[in-house]
Chains A and B, each alone.
Chain A
Amino acid sequence: MATLEEQLGGKDRADSWKQFPWWLVAILLFLAYMAWLIITDENYNEAFQFIIGHIGDIEDLLDGEVLAFIGQGISLTLYITIVTFFISILLGLLAGLGRVSKNTFIRNLAITYVEFVRGLPILVLIFTLAIVVVPGAVDRVGGDLQAFPNATRGIIALSFFYGAFMGEIFRAGIESIPKGQFEAARSLGMTGSQSMRYIILPQAIRNILPALGNDFIAILKDSSLLSVLAIREITQLSRLHAGSTFRFKESYLVLTFLYLSMTVALSLLLQWYGRRLNTNER
């Protein structure tokens, strides 16, 4: 007869076998195989070199030509993702605060924005904003359309889209804070905006960090849609490479490899961060 400890130990071992992240092994094997192909196969290597692209001269940056410095390929994809992420956080914060505002006009303005965006396919929004609204608005105020290259318009469209979704995240985060927190702040004489800034938002933002991280990954993936604006990020470069060499397999498998390695790395980072946050809470 096995002792209780032995039985439990055995059960633990069986469970740890079941809990092991086999999915991660499968994905890492795929990524390793692709990496091996890229290193050893001339055609894959050529596709890879073309798609990751290159950054521009440091002098462009010094001249203030940021997009010229960012260049094309992976650097442009990351630039679009990061800039879009921060603009949409700002828009989302405003939309979220608007949604919980007592002011009827501001609240409805925020709801209109969120519902408008949620009712549209992202591709339609990209076309409409980048090709119609931004040029139209720039024209109307007599601005210089040269200052709004396609990449900038693409970032505006993506930010507008994700700002609405982040607005809902911020709203949920704010509403997740118990009413007593607001009451305690108000009873100490804080104004509504002081209570929001010093008491509610710091707690809300902590709660929504994982959700914001997920949106970062979503923006990274959806930046590929900007290839419809002929922005030379990695998806567009893959299409160009496939079109000029007819090596579709190499082009799109390398593209898959690039996105997947970035998203898996980010999502593991997020999981690690989420666990750390949870242990700190205790």
Chain B
Amino acid sequence: MNGRTMENEIIVINDLHKYFGDVEAVKGVDLRVKRGEVIAIVGPSGSGKSTVLRCINHLEVPTAGAVYIDGVHLEDKATKINSVRAEVGMVFQQFNLFPHLTALENVTIAVRKVRKRNKEEANRIGMEKLTRVGIPEKADSYPRQLSGGQQQRVAIARSLAMDPKIMLFDEPTSALDPEMIKEVLDVMLDLAKEGMTMVVVTHEMGFCRAAADRVMFMDDGQVVEVAPPDVLFKNPTHDRTKLFLSQILVH
């Protein structure tokens, strides 16, 4: 556990099921994430890993099962989902920056409208986060004027500006040109070192090795095995894990 000893669990997923029409994309997933832990979810496409991630901030509503964020039951009707989401940052494969806003406005819009901070305060927070991801000089640029790597870093800053307890990453480097992957992974590695709780769906095995406390391998909507990266990569116990790893590590 990288020496971390915190015992309190910030994400608890119990027997999660998700159907899309007749197709069961997630078939009973359990996951417990401790505060400050970094979990990587890997697996072939269509294995349900993104769906699990999207259930954590209720972008997908589970068909059955329960998700608790910091003790709050998301499926409970009394839960104010917007205030939970404000505590859970999400970074998307396609960045999903707001094209009509500058980088700084992208970072500050939710700080102003959700956190109700005034403009100066929001801009101060925004510049701080843009500096943290290394592109304060792009504050006044529009997304279309930025490279993919820069856009994704603005997207990370946008989530960080909300001061989240958890960061979710949905294949954050899959839409990037190879030379831009590193600048995004570096930001994520820094976050992990600083103790951010992270759940990362990724194909970057290097990132898993360097940053993940545990790697969860999923296939066909189920968790095949969960283990620290050195264990999972060196001595996978299941054949399906071995097959998957052999396929991606060959490349």
**How near does chain A come to B92, taking the closest CB pair, in angstroms?**
6
A183 touches B92 (CB 8 A): yes
Stretch at the interface among B11-19, B109-117, B201-209, B242-250: B109-117
**Known: A180-B94, A183-B92. Contact between A189 and B109, CB under 8 A?**
no
Contacts of B2 in A (CB 8 A): none
Q: Indicate whether B184 reaches chain A with its CB closer than 8 angstroms.
A: no
Q: Indicate whether A187 reaches chain B with its CB closer than 8 angstroms.
A: yes
Interface centre among A181, A184, A188 (most CB of B within 10 A): A188
Q: Indicate whether A214 reaches chain B with its CB closer than 8 angstroms.
A: no
Q: Indicate whether B100 reaches chain A with its CB closer than 8 angstroms.
A: yes
Q: Is the interface of A mostly helix, strand, loop or mixed?
A: helix
Interface centre among A178, A189, A282 (most CB of B within 10 A): A189
As a 0/1 sequence over residues 171 to 190 of chain A, the CB contacts with chain B under 8 angstroms (1 = contact) are: 00000001011011111111
Name the residue of chain A whose CB is nearest to the CB of B87. Answer: A189
Contacts of B83 in A (CB 8 A): 189
**Known: A180-B94, A183-B92. Contact between A190 and B100, CB under 8 A?**
no
A203 touches B100 (CB 8 A): yes
A203 touches B99 (CB 8 A): yes
**How near does chain A come to B125, taking the closest CB pair, in angstroms?**
13
Interface size grouping (class) on chain A:
20 to 34
A188 touches B92 (CB 8 A): no
Q: Indicate whether B240 reaches chain A with its CB closer than 8 angstroms.
A: no
As a 0/1 sequence over residues 92 to 127 of chain B, the CB contacts with chain A under 8 angstroms (1 = contact) are: 101011111000000001100110000000000000
**Known: A181-B96, A202-B100. Contact between A186 and B113, CB under 8 A?**
no
A190 touches B110 (CB 8 A): yes
Name the residue of chain B whose CB is nearest to the CB of A203. Answer: B100
Contacts of B85 in A (CB 8 A): 186-189
Interface size grouping (class) on chain B:
20 to 34
Q: Indicate whether A281 reaches chain B with its CB closer than 8 angstroms.
A: yes
Name the residue of chain B whose CB is nearest to the CB of A184. Answer: B96
A188 touches B99 (CB 8 A): no
Complex CA–CA separation, A282 to B99 (angstroms): 12
As a 0/1 sequence over residues 178 to 217 of chain B, the CB contacts with chain A under 8 angstroms (1 = contact) are: 0000000000000000000000000000000000000000
Contacts of A178 in B (CB 8 A): 96
As a 0/1 sequence over residues 89 to 112 of chain A, the CB contacts with chain B under 8 angstroms (1 = contact) are: 000000000000000000000000
Contacts of B57 in A (CB 8 A): 187
Interface centre among A184, A190, A202, A203 (most CB of B within 10 A): A184
17 extra A-B contacts, CB within 8 A, seeds A180-B96, A189-B87, A190-B110:
A178-B96, A180-B92, A181-B96, A181-B98, A183-B59, A183-B96, A184-B97, A184-B98, A186-B59, A188-B109, A188-B159, A189-B82, A189-B85, A190-B82, A194-B113, A199-B98, A202-B100
Q: List the 5 closest pairs (A to B, CB-CB), nearest first.
A: A189-B86, A188-B110, A184-B96, A187-B90, A180-B96
Q: List 7 A-B contacts (CB under 8 A).
A: A180-B94, A181-B96, A184-B97, A184-B98, A188-B158, A189-B83, A190-B82
* Contact surface of A with B, Cβ cutoff 8 Å: 178, 180-181, 183-191, 194, 198-199, 202-203, 206, 281-282
